[in-house]
A = this chain, B = another copy of it.
Amino acid sequence: MLRIGELATKTGLTAHTIRFYEKSGLINASQRSESGYRYYTDTDVRQAEFVKTARKIGFSVDDVSTLLSIRVDKSNHTCQDVTEITQRKLNDVNEKISELLLMQQTLKILLNSCCGGPESATHCSIMEALDASNALKPRIVAE
């Protein structure tokens, strides 16, 4: 039986975060001492590790909550239930990546266009591009 600090050490979460996850319904201490201390069993530890893993992959706290409800009652859920959550997450991630790649491309073009030296910014091509407001139409990257 571990106390919250030990669980924290073991999982790499903080005690604060574990209590926050408890409020969010993700992690529960199977036992409490008379004085109120949380005590975690091996089963609790495994659940906490599941949470940590799922969060690290990028699932939201809400997603993890859903995944846990499947986990405790696997026979009443299907692989489809699980892949749906995973696929939705992958779609989110793909979309964010697309946005960021666009930003990346634009930023690279801006950087390529500017000397970056100690010259006055009076004719800085980055500033000019931001003013021209077609800075958002990146074409072929001059790699």
Contact = CB atoms under 8 A, between A and B. Distances in A.
- Say whether chain A's binding surface is mostly helix, strand, loop, or mixed: helix
A104 B100 contact: no
A2 interface: no
A76 B124 CA distance: 12
Nearest to A117: B79
A82 B136 contact: no
Interface string A75-119: 111111111001101100110110011011011101100111111
Q: Which of A77, A90, A101, A103 has the largest count of B CB atoms less than 10 A from its CB?
A: A103
Interface of A: 46, 49-50, 52-54, 56-58, 67, 70-71, 74-83, 86-87, 89-90, 93-94, 96-97, 100-101, 103-104, 106-108, 110-111, 114-122, 124, 126-127, 130-131, 133, 135-136
Given A71-B130, A80-B118, A82-B124, 8 more contacts: A57-B107, A57-B135, A58-B103, A75-B121, A79-B120, A82-B114, A86-B110, A97-B100
